[in-house]
Amino acid sequence: MNYDNQKLIDMLAAEYVLGTLKGPARKRFQRLMLTSNRVREATWMWEQHLNNLASSIKSEPPSDAVWQIISQRIDAKPSIEKVVPESNVIKPKASIWQAWSLIATAASIVLALIIWQPQAPLQQQTQQIALFKDASEQPLWFIDIDEQNLSIKASDKLIARTDKDYELWMILKGQDTPISLGLLPKSGVKSLLKDSRFNAQDIALLAISLEPIGGSPNGLPTEVVFTTELILL
């Protein structure tokens, strides 16, 4: 595929921001964001366009019929459930189910936080989280970000290379050079001091690179192997 084609870049950037770019195609686009300023600029442009469009649209709550259907599916109590003739059912719009899908995704990540860090004190105020997974959707690293630190836990699913290190990077919107956040643990938990430039609103992507022992020799990712997005809580 010709990624020098600006029209193609714009199309992929639009799909990426909308969330319709899925699977391997989304991962490829995330890797392109690491190396191409044109791709990052196109993504930022579409974020601005769609955010402005969303802010100009008046929100409209779902009708009572839609909420009734949702409640019936959640409660699932046949003894008291009222059967509604199919011809009278108002089917919810796709955007409603997409919203529920996003909520479910966020909930699953929060659940992972609870499972992976059962001893974390309640007074810690988690601000953002991130989850890195492999091609088969197995979790590898879970990152919990608070005001001062990044707490990183390696999954027991991780089969780490002993001859290489794994380095965490952040890519800021509108900037060409990724910023190293430090080396990741190959097992257990590790805490990294939060970089002063770490601002959730400015981060386009988080990435993990495979590096020689000790980290990147030149301050840039050697081989990007995983990417993910930051989840705001």
pLDDT tens, position by position, 159-183: 999 999 999 999 998 887 899 999 9
Q: Is 79 inside a domain boundary? A: no
Mean pLDDT (whole number) for 62-86:
63
Q: How far apart are CA 229 and CA 11, in angstroms?
A: 20
Confidence of residue 219 (pLDDT cuts 50, 70, 90): very high
- CA-CA distance, 154 to 132, in Å (whole number)? 10
Instruction: Please report the pLDDT score of residue 192 as a whole number.
Output: 95
Amino acid at 46: W
| CATH number for the domain that contains residue 164 | 2.60.40
Give a three-class secondary structure readout of the chain. Answer: CCCCCHHHHHHHHHHHHHCCCCHHHHHHHHHHHHHCHHHHHHHHHHHHHHHHHHHHCCCCCCCHHHHHHHHHHHHCCCCCCCCCCHHHCCCCCHHHHHHHHHHHHHHHHHHHHHHHCCCCCCCCCCCEEEEEECCCCCEEEEEEECCCEEEEEECCCCCCCCCCEEEEEEEECCCCCCEEEEECCCCCEEEEECCCCCCHHHEEEEEEEEECCCCCCCCCCCEEEEEECCEEC
Tens-digit pLDDT profile for residues 137-157: 888 999 989 889 999 999 888
Of residues 12 and 151, the one with the higher pLDDT is 151
Do 148 and 45 share a structural domain?
A: no
Same domain, 119 and 202: yes
What one-letter code names the amino acid at 203? I
Q: Which residue has the higher pLDDT, 214 or 129?
A: 214
Is 25 exposed, middle or buried, given 0-12, 13-18 or 19+ CB atoms closer than 10 A? middle
Least Cα distance to 192 among 130, 133, 138, 119 occurs for 130
Kindly indicate the confidence band of residue 102, based on its pLDDT and cuts at 50, 70 and 90. Answer: low
Q: What total of structural domains would you count in the chain?
A: 2
Q: 70 vs 61, 77, 146, CA distance in Å? A: 14, 13, 34
> The dihedral of CA 215, 188, 107, 147: what is its sign?
negative
Phi/psi zone of residue 87: left (φ > 0), alpha (ψ -120 to 50 degrees), beta? alpha
Average pLDDT score over the chain: 77
Residue 183 domain-assigned (yes or no): yes
Q: Report yes or no on 100 lying in a domain.
A: no
pLDDT average, residue stretch 75-95: 50
46 & 115 share domain? no
Tens digit of each residue's pLDDT (9 = 90 or more) over 50-70:
665 656 566 667 777 777 777
* pLDDT on residue 9: 81
Q: What is the mean pLDDT of residues 111-120?
A: 46
CA distance 186 to 10: 37
**Percent of the chain scored above 70 by pLDDT?**
70
Residue 93 clears pLDDT 80, i.e. is over it: no
Considering the domain boundaries, does residue 159 fall inside one? yes
Q: Which residue reads 């600029």 in tokens?
A: 41
Range of the domain at 120: 110-232
